[in-house]
Amino acid sequence: SQAKDVGETEILDYGALFDLLSDSGITLETLPQVAAHYNWTAGDPADDDGTHACPADEGATGPSDDEVEVEPDYGPWEGDMVYPMRALARELEGEWIEWALHDHFNNTWNGTTSGEENGSDSKWILIEFLSTDCGHCWNAADDMTSFHNDYGDRVEFLSFAVNFSSNDYFNATPEEVAAFQDKTTHNGCRANQYDCADRPGEPHDWLYVDDRNQSAMHEFAAQGTPMFVIIQPNGVVAWHQYQHNGDAGEDQESIVDALQRFFGQVQ
């Protein structure tokens, strides 16, 4: 009968409650004994909204503090957890495939082991925002090759290729981004005036992410290219370029100096 449902959470209006009591053979005279048996309690009438919630199983309690999942502090700045991001991405000479940034994180990482170098126990992440039509990014392609040669054993590299809707020359296609990464022939790089095969540096043997709609760029508060962010293995921002530009209250530290500070001087 419906009386057997006691102990499970159920919402009833008062009319339905009295019908249930009547159908179950419970009268107003026997109601106190039934209530005592099932440990029913009454709320403050002043708080009544016309419904009644049956109690949970006897002895049940709410979740403890340890059981409540705390939402991470998402954001673009140092100390924040980076926002979840999904896009298309490709390896060197590969195809564009579905990709998620959080797949690169080690959620069990809780700091570099004492006495070890950063990245020796779990790789950190260097994010670069670039445009294949940006002259500064064109020149920085050689720097990225050097960074990867120097730190690639301890740092995972991710290059986010963006477009700028405000400039008709910054409108790369996926084919142009791939040619820039692979350093293969494609007329259209660097403001549509250069062959991508002529860019400085070597082919970039790390992941390129399609951010031509600037969604990830927005999440990282990036306003131009090239722009850099260093992320800890657990997905927390360790260094953000805009917090080291020498503005009021900030130090001035380049990406070169930041890499050396986190991962040591290049031999």
Whether 64 maps to a domain, the answer reads: no
Same structural domain, 229 and 119: yes
Same structural domain, 196 and 121: yes
Q: What is the pTM of this model?
A: 0.74
The tally of domains found in the chain comes to 2
Whether 35 maps to a domain, the answer reads: yes
Whether 205 maps to a domain, the answer reads: yes
Whether 158 maps to a domain, the answer reads: yes
Q: What is the 3-state secondary structure (H, E, C) of the chain?
A: CHHHHCCCCCEEEHHHHHHHHHHCCCCCCCHHHHHHHHCCCCCCHHHCCCEEECCCCCCCCCCCCCCCCCCCCECCCCCCECCCCEEEEECCCCCCEEEEHHHHCCCCCCCCCCCCCCCCCCCEEEEEEECCCCHHHHHHHHHHHHHHHHHCCCEEEEEEECCCCCCCCCCCCHHHHHHHHHCCCCEEHHHHCEEHHHCCCCCCCCEEEECCCCHHHHHCCCCCCCEEEEECCCCEEEEEHHHCECCCCCCECCHHHHHHHHHCCCC
Same structural domain, 37 and 98: no
What's the sign of the alpha-carbon dihedral 32, 35, 39, 45?
Answer: negative
Same structural domain, 47 and 152: no
Whether 186 maps to a domain, the answer reads: yes
CATH code, domain carrying 203:
3.40.30.10
Same structural domain, 106 and 190: yes
Same structural domain, 33 and 144: no
Whether 74 maps to a domain, the answer reads: no
Domain that holds residue 21: 2-53
Distances (CA, A) of 7 to 55, 108, 159: 6, 39, 56
Whether 135 maps to a domain, the answer reads: yes
C-alpha 116/C-alpha 158 separation (Å) is 24
Same structural domain, 25 and 92: no
Count of beta carbons in the 10 Å neighbourhood of residue 189: 26
C-alpha 83/C-alpha 81 separation (Å) is 6
Same structural domain, 145 and 96: yes
Count of beta carbons in the 10 Å neighbourhood of residue 215: 15
Phi, psi of 209, rounded to the nearest 5 degrees: -115, 135
What's the sign of the alpha-carbon dihedral 215, 219, 221, 224?
Answer: negative
Same structural domain, 149 and 247: yes
Whether 221 maps to a domain, the answer reads: yes
* Neighbour-count burial for 104-123, b at 16+ CB within 10 Å, e otherwise: ebeeebeebeeeeebbeebb
- Please give the angle made by the CA atoms of 234, 235 and 236, to the nearest 5 degrees: 100
Same structural domain, 139 and 35: no
Same structural domain, 112 and 24: no
Count of beta carbons in the 10 Å neighbourhood of residue 184: 14
Place of tokens 């002043």: 46
Q: How many CA atoms does the CB half-sphere of 250 hold within 13 Å?
A: 14
Same structural domain, 171 and 39: no
In tens digits, the chain (267 residues) has pLDDT values of: 344 444 444 444 445 555 555 555 555 555 555 455 444 444 444 444 443 333 344 444 555 556 666 778 999 999 999 999 999 999 999 999 999 999 999 999 999 988 899 999 999 999 999 999 999 999 999 999 999 999 999 999 999 999 998 888 899 999 999 999 999 999 999 999 999 999 999 999 999 999 999 999 999 999 999 999 999 999 999 999 999 998 877 789 999 999 999 999 886
Looking at residue 4, its amino acid is: K
